[in-house]
């Protein structure tokens, strides 16, 4: 009966100018009723971050109220100085987002922020914002009129959520704090689908080092196994900092699908399928002793136009790895090594450069893979992707960077760099790090 009534109302709305209050009420009901039915699902997130600073830096940063006024009046120039990119697999379960690197065998129980590490990043576009806005008695709405979009006219509504009713958390120092926020939602008056969302938070704790954070999300209906659900297509997070810098983070969501397992998720072919008998007979290699040199060559090029932190890197062992003081071959030449990019940065101001950081994860023998713990071999000249010149500063990796991570730096004014297939690097095995 409820479904039939809904169809009759929808038909009546489409026959005449829809009432803004009814459109909002129906859109809210659809969002609230669909969220509990939404199955656990995963999406691939590709995150592109750009960092800007003022061409003329102030002697001392002005207060946030002045920074926002100056930003809105466009009376200063912003210069981009850094971009980076990362790719994640994100699982959404009960409104909680957890992540992994693409192709990982399972999702980590740690916070997605632990995986991302340093740099601005936000969650909420995958559903938390919608629940907190529409399923919240503390939210107030106003009708703002119609706005144009690619799909036609949308009804726009302003909303405000006070801090006492908010679940919008920001990381302030060593703790998370709830903040008030406001914004707009755009709703298609014909389909009653929410199409666009803007969320703004301005009165932020000083510990966040941010004056304003704005999130905008484009939504569309997507088919999962249990029906059609409202999922994000693209989001943008813009941060105005207390130092007058600005960060712009654009995230695209692709490959969204229902999550079928509570323990392990596979991307690509199921590793248990195929040559089961052959792999069952293979012997998992013993743990490698520390101190063994490994020479590798890239099996596939790395193109900075598309590569991202989180992407898998394939390498080939150039020479047999032998046990110390023995001719015993522990890793044969030609064996495959699987690594992962953990940083993909492009510094655009002088000295312009690309920084690509990676670590090794596994090596394969007889169809069975085993963990590979190794650190860069610093006993000889470090591999370089650019010609060093006198007077050019030397950039050391961050002091907190893992010993297992190697950073390759290419000094170039080009907007793109390709680390070629066959690029060589040297590593040394090490003991398994402490968890």
Residue 274 in domain: no
Residues 167 and 47 in one domain: yes
How buried is 204 (Cβ within 10 angstroms: 0-12 exposed, 13-18 middle, 19+ buried)? buried
Number of domains in the chain: 2
Q: Who contacts 15 (Cβ-Cβ below 8 Å, separation ≥6)?
A: none
Query: At which of 258, 293, 326 does a domain end?
Result: 258
Average pLDDT over residues 192-215: 91
Residues 81 and 213 in one domain: yes
Residues 241 and 359 in one domain: no
The tens digit of pLDDT for each residue in 329-355 reads 999 999 999 999 999 999 999 899 999
Mean pLDDT of the chain: 82
Beta strands in 259-327 (DSSP E): 293-298, 302-303, 312-317, 321-322
Above pLDDT 90, what percent of the chain? Answer: 49
Residues 311 and 375 in one domain: yes
Range picked from 142-156, 171-185, 333-347, 372-386 for highest mean pLDDT: 333-347
Residue 359 in domain: yes
Residue 391 in domain: yes
Residues 241 and 312 in one domain: no
- Phi then psi dihedrals of residue 28, to 5 deg: -60, -45
Residues 229 and 361 in one domain: no
**pLDDT above 90 (res 26):** yes
**pLDDT above 70 (res 305):** yes
CB 250 within 8 A of CB 236: yes
Q: Who contacts 366 (Cβ-Cβ below 8 Å, separation ≥6)?
A: 282, 283
Q: Which domain holds residue 33?
A: 13-258
Residues 239 and 320 in one domain: no
Residues 203 and 294 in one domain: no
User: Which DSSP string do the residues of 80-121 spell out, in sequence order?
Assistant: EEEEEEEEEEEEEETTEEEEE-TT-SS--SS-HHHHH-SS--
How buried is 384 (Cβ within 10 angstroms: 0-12 exposed, 13-18 middle, 19+ buried)? exposed
Residues 227 and 335 in one domain: no
Supply the CATH number for residue 319's domain: 2.40.128
Return d(Cα 193, Cα 187) in angstroms, integer.
6
**pLDDT above 50 (res 89):** yes
Structure tokens at 184: 């707009």
The tens digit of pLDDT for each residue in 152-167 reads 899 999 999 999 999 8
Q: Which pLDDT belongs to residue 104? A: 73
Residue 51 in domain: yes
**pLDDT above 60 (res 281):** no
Residue 298 in domain: yes
Task: Name the pTM for this structure.
Answer: 0.82
Residues 84 and 195 in one domain: yes
């Amino acid at each position: 009966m409820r479904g039939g009534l809904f169809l009759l109302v929808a038909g009546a709305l489409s026959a005449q100018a829809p009432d803004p209050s009814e459109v909002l009420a129906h859109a809210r009901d659809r969002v609230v009723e669909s969220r509990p039915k939404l199955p656990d699902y995963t999406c691939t997130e590709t995150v592109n971050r750009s960092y800007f600073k003022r061409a003329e830096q102030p002697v001392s940063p002005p207060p946030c109220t002045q920074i926002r006024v100056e930003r809105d009046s466009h009376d200063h120039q912003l210069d981009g100085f850094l971009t980076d990119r990362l790719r994640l697999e994100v699982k959404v379960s009960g409104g909680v987002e957890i992540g992994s690197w693409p192709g990982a065998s399972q999702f980590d129980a740690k916070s997605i922020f632990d995986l991302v590490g340093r740099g601005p990043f936000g969650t909420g576009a995958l559903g938390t914002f919608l629940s907190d806005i529409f399923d919240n008695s503390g939210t107030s709405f106003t009708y703002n009129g119609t706005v144009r979009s690619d799909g036609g006219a949308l009804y726009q509504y302003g909303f405000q959520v006070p801090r006492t009713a908010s679940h919008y958390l920001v990381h302030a120092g060593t703790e998370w704090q709830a903040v008030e926020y406001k914004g707009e939602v755009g709703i298609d008056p014909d389909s009653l689908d929410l199409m666009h969302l803007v969320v703004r938070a301005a009165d932020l704790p000083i510990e966040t080092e941010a004056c304003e954070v704005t999130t905008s999300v484009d939504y569309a209906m997507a088919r999962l196994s249990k029906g059609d659900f409202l999922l994000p297509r693209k989001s943008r997070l813009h941060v105005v900092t207390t130092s007058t810098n600005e960060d712009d983070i654009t995230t695209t969501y692709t490959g969204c699908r229902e999550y079928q397992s509570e323990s392990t998720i596979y991307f690509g072919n199921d590793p248990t399928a195929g040559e089961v008998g052959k792999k069952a007979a293979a012997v998992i290699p013993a743990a490698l002793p520390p101190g063994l040199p490994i020479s590798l060559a890239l099996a596939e090029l790395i193109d900075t136009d598309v590569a991202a932190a989180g992407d898998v890197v394939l390498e080939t062992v150039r020479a047999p790895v032998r046990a110390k003081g023995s001719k015993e071959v522990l890793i044969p030449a030609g064996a495959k090594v699987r690594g992962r990019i953990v940083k993909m940065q492009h510094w655009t101001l002088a000295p312009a450069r690309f920084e690509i950081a990676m670590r090794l994860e596994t090596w394969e023998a007889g169809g069975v893979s085993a963990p590979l713990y190794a650190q860069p071999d610093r006993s000889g000249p470090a591999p370089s992707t650019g010609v060093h010149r006198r007077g050019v500063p030397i950039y050391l990796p961050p002091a907190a960077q893992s010993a297992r991570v190697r950073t390759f730096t290419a000094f170039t004014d080009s907007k793109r760099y390709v680390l070629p297939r066959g690029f060589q690097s040297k590593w040394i095995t090490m003991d398994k790090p402490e968890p």
